[in-house]
Structure 1
Amino acid sequence: MKIHRQRWPQGVVGPALGLIVNPFSGLGGSVGLKGSDGFETVQEALRRGAVPQANRKAVLALDAIREDLPQLKIVTAGGAMGEAVARGAEVIHCADATATTGIDTTAAAQVMSDYGVDLILFVGGDGTARDVAAGTSSGIPILGVPAGVKMHSSVFAQTAKKAGRLAALFLAGSRDVTLREAEIMDIDEDLIRKDRVSARLYGNAFSPYLERMSQNAKAGAGPGEEAIANAIAFEVASDMRPGCLYILGPGTTTHRVAKTLGLDATLLGVDAVVDGRLVGRDLDERGLLALMNNHETWLVVSVLGGQGSLFGRGNQQISAEVIRRVGRKRIIAMASVQKLIALGNQPLLVDTGDDEVDAMLSGHIRLVTGPAQQTVFPVQP
């Protein structure tokens, strides 16, 4: 493995970064498709009005890298797979950007491995991580810029900017950055759309690690947490105000709120409730905004186990615009004390794609942790 342990002066040949962008990653999030894998899913997302976000996140990461390493050698894939955003980069792999598939991603990773890059930075989600790892030579580290709908793998940084910063620190030889064997997880999207979760470990890859920049793998509920989750759900359902719209985010904890009310809500979609009635099921951003026009609206969300994510992981239907209209004071966040302890010193994370909304959410937020129990916890982008 080639690891450089010194900062290279400007103009001196140093480390090389490989960049791969999945231009369609995350496309299905805001429109309620729970993923973006497959040509048909991409086309359906575009038909529903989804706006690609991957290139914007790639630019955020690259800008952060170039702040520290302005002369860094970058090689990339052609067109929308990197060339479109990486100004001045050397293109060493070409693909049909109008029909990019996982095969193209794997092929690009193979070419970059043969080239001898020191790190492959990819923009995408769990599916992209799988494809990159499949084409990467043993020992070459990879690092993900989170841009997908689901990112359960631990090869990702927490945000695009942190991915760029972490990549720069690693390539500059910072002693603070270590290499870890990170898990590559993925979930069957077809089963997710049927409200069934089937997660699988696909392997491990070396990835740069720095606390408060790197993302942990998603963790399931611990022993005894089911009863606590039921109690939290009952507490939230009991406090719902008459005439108000309550948006229920994805996940088992929020699903328990709906079950407490006797509603047939989705497990992994976003639903809406007024006066104990289900007024919207498996809604996308557009559907949520339409319902919000006539009601005072509250958001009910849970903390993602292991990662500590509040917004931006698997609940992109609750977009920055939805959050902006709701306002910070009408967000009901839920988490067991055990889940918060498991985060260690990490704050809760928000990655809405909107700097103003992320800043609005930053600070401290009140969490429902049990019957008549609340705690205050830090939040940061």
Structure 2
Amino acid sequence: MNIPAKIGFIINPIAGMGGSVGLKGSDGVEILQKSRELGAVAQANRRVQEFLSHLSVDKKSISFVSLPGIMGGTILNQNGFNVELLHSSDLPVETVLFETSPYHTKKAAELMLQSHVKLLIFVGGDGTARNIVEAVGTSLPCMGIPAGVKIHSSVFTTNPKTAAELLEIFLEGGLTLRESEVMDIDEDAFRENRVLSKLYGYLMTPYVPTLSQPSKMASPQTDHEHHNQNRMAEWIIQQMDNSGSEYYYLLGPGTTTRAITNLLQEEKTLLGVDLFYKKKLVAKDLNEQQILEMIADHPTKLVVTPIGAQGFIFGRGNLQLSPKVLTTIGLKNIIIIATKYKISTLPDRKMRIDSRNPDFDRKFTGLHRVLVDYGEMQIVDVV
């Protein structure tokens, strides 16, 4: 009789809540409270359900180790998996939404290390990955399912579906483990338009290039890169002139899109979404609801750029550009721009999408025109 594989499973139930409401993350009690006041909805369980729905292994072949309640036990039981629940005087009898903390994540990870799980799966973002690395370091294989806002670290799979694929390959044995970076940024500085990124350590993760995401890479600060950005910016501004009396322009996050506002001599929220009309700034750092309200009765174009090295267009750091917003704008009105260097860093020269809505992702996948210089387009596949 085969012994079931013992798999640790930890959910950060508030991961990603700050994204759609434009708060750039969910770390800290004050930000969580502000997220709730703005109408943010917990979404980590949706990511877990997507992961479990794609998991095709025999349920008897896995024995999950998790916490009782919202941090894992409830949803695993609801999906018919065997679950061993952790109990400790340092942990709540039942984990409850909005009453969990990083301490619970770290303590659970430590107990899973002691109980010799074969793999620790965690659901969250870069902050959750920091908690895990503090608890277990490189002593235990780990795998992150992306559910946070930023997700710059390379310890995550590209989405919940690929997490299911990676787990199945891992259980078959013989899969390569690698040291993967745990990166995070200072969220307070992030909200002040400054990016302060730091390496917090490494986790040992199962690795398949097409299923695992690389760490985010910033654009190089070179004259050639700046010239390329400015050439694209000039072309976008020409389009604004041609359609300026008709279209609003939403500019997504990033230094590539900021080149447009630099030429216009307007401010840009480096890490937010800003609205322009007739080449003038209308509104800054909009959240999902504000975008929907402002573009409701006005044709709009959206200019976005993929994240360097990761290649994500949507689903990393721009959750305010939700499937609802993107559908309202219309796929034909989305303009993707990327320097030639950024294109060269794309995994397999492909872009990615993880909008948190698999149905929308399927509609958006396929070949897309990408502006790479003044009036110069390349055809790039989105997967």
TM-score normalised by structure 1 residue count: 0.93
Q: 1:189–1:344: structure 2 CA closer, same or farther, 3 Å change rule?
A: closer
Alignment partner of 1:210 is 2:208: yes
* 1:169-318 equivalences in 2 (<5 Å): 169-173=169-173, 175=174, 177-222=175-220, 223=222, 224-240=224-240, 241-242=243-244, 243-318=246-321
Which stretch shows the higher mean deviation, 311-320 or 135-144?
135-144
* 1:134-173 equivalences in 2 (<5 Å): 134-136=134-136, 138-173=138-173
Q: Report the CA distance between 1:214 and its aligned residue.
A: 0.2
Q: Could you say what secondary structure the match of 2:169 adopts?
A: helix
Q: Could you say what secondary structure the match of 1:212 adopts?
A: coil
Q: Report the CA distance between 1:133 and its aligned residue.
A: 1.4
Distance in 1 separating the partners of 2:133 and 2:365: 34
**Contact 1:69–1:168 (8 Å) recurs in 2:** no
Q: Report the CA distance between 1:91 and its aligned residue.
A: 1.1
Alignment partner of 1:113 is 2:113: yes
Structure 2 residue runs of 5 or longer lacking an equivalent are: none
* Letter of the 1:62 counterpart: L
The residue that corresponds to 2:59 in the other structure is: 70
Q: Could you say what secondary structure the match of 1:287 adopts?
A: helix
Give identity over the alignment, percent. 38
Alignment partner of 1:40 is 2:30: yes
Q: Could you say what secondary structure the match of 1:338 adopts?
A: helix
Distance in 1 separating the partners of 2:356 and 2:121: 19
Return structure 1 stretches of 4+ with deviation > 6 angstroms: none
Q: 1:110–1:229: structure 2 CA closer, same or farther, 3 Å change rule?
A: same
Distance in 2 separating the partners of 1:138 and 1:179: 11
**Contact 1:18–1:117 (8 Å) recurs in 2:** yes
1:33-79 residue CA offsets vs partner (Å, 9 max, x unmatched): 000001111111011001111011012122323x1242211111121
Alignment partner of 1:358 is 2:361: yes
The residue that corresponds to 2:336 in the other structure is: 333
**Contact 1:60–1:164 (8 Å) recurs in 2:** no
Distance in 2 separating the partners of 1:258 and 1:101: 39
Distance in 1 separating the partners of 2:257 and 2:219: 14
* Letter of the 1:214 counterpart: S
Structure 1 residue runs of 5 or longer lacking an equivalent are: 1-10
Taking only aligned residues, the RMSD between alpha carbons, in angstroms, comes to 1.4
* Letter of the 1:115 counterpart: S
* Letter of the 2:210 counterpart: R
Q: Report the CA distance between 1:265 and its aligned residue.
A: 2.2
**Contact 2:309–2:347 (8 Å) recurs in 1:** no
Q: Report the CA distance between 1:138 and its aligned residue.
A: 3.6
**Contact 1:61–1:165 (8 Å) recurs in 2:** no
TM-score normalised by structure 2 residue count: 0.93
**Contact 1:113–1:137 (8 Å) recurs in 2:** no
* Letter of the 1:162 counterpart: T
The residue that corresponds to 1:321 in the other structure is: 324
Distance in 1 separating the partners of 2:349 and 2:47: 23
**Contact 2:138–2:202 (8 Å) recurs in 1:** no
Q: Could you say what secondary structure the match of 1:220 adopts?
A: coil
Which stretch shows the higher mean deviation, 21-30 or 97-106?
97-106
* Letter of the 1:89 counterpart: V
Q: Could you say what secondary structure the match of 2:59 adopts?
A: coil
**Contact 1:118–1:171 (8 Å) recurs in 2:** no
Q: Report the CA distance between 1:346 and its aligned residue.
A: 4.6
Alignment partner of 1:16 is 2:6: yes
| Residues paired across the two proteins, number | 367
**Contact 2:121–2:142 (8 Å) recurs in 1:** yes
Q: Could you say what secondary structure the match of 1:348 adopts?
A: strand
Q: Report the CA distance between 1:352 and its aligned residue.
A: 0.8
Q: Could you say what secondary structure the match of 1:303 adopts?
A: coil
Q: Report the CA distance between 1:295 and its aligned residue.
A: 0.9
Which stretch shows the higher mean deviation, 143-152 or 222-231?
222-231
